[in-house]
Structure 1
Amino acid sequence: MYELNDIVEMKKPHACGTNRWQIIRIGADLKIKCLNCERVVMLTRREFDKRFKKILEKHSN
């Protein structure tokens, strides 16, 4: 399962052309940041789960 600061891939790429996002907040909503253009997007957990494809890099503590 995904955790805070993991790098994830979504099903559709962002408008800037990249598909790498960093999870920066987890709660009832998730906040993800595009690693190319630094844009921050907030999604409900249900919406995120629907759009989530896979974890690219796990955050190591």
Structure 2
Amino acid sequence: MDIQVGDVLELKKEHPCGSRRWSVLRVGMDFRLRCQGCGHELMLPRSKAEKSVKKVIQSGEGQQT
């Protein structure tokens, strides 16, 4: 799965705040994600993050880093 920094992901399970959308802040062996509902950040191993992705909503290709 090709996920890059700046992408917005929809995960299968809801965060306790009710949002399913997460922004990708870091990609590598671990993913750092920020909840778009409440701003909570977490790190997930790549394997777990890729299993829990339902779809990529917005691609971060147009952004300059």
TM surpasses 0.5: yes
Aligned length: 61
**Mapping of residues 4-43 of structure 1, within 5 Å:** 4-43=5-44
CA shift at 1:2, angstroms?
1.6
Stretches of structure 1 lacking an aligned partner (at least 5 in a row): none
RMSD: 0.8
Percentage identity across aligned positions?
A: 33
TM-score (normalizing by structure 2): 0.88
Structure in which a larger fraction of residues adopt strand: 1
Stretches of structure 2 lacking an aligned partner (at least 5 in a row): none
4+ residue runs of structure 1 moved beyond 2 angstroms?
none
TM-score (normalizing by structure 1): 0.93
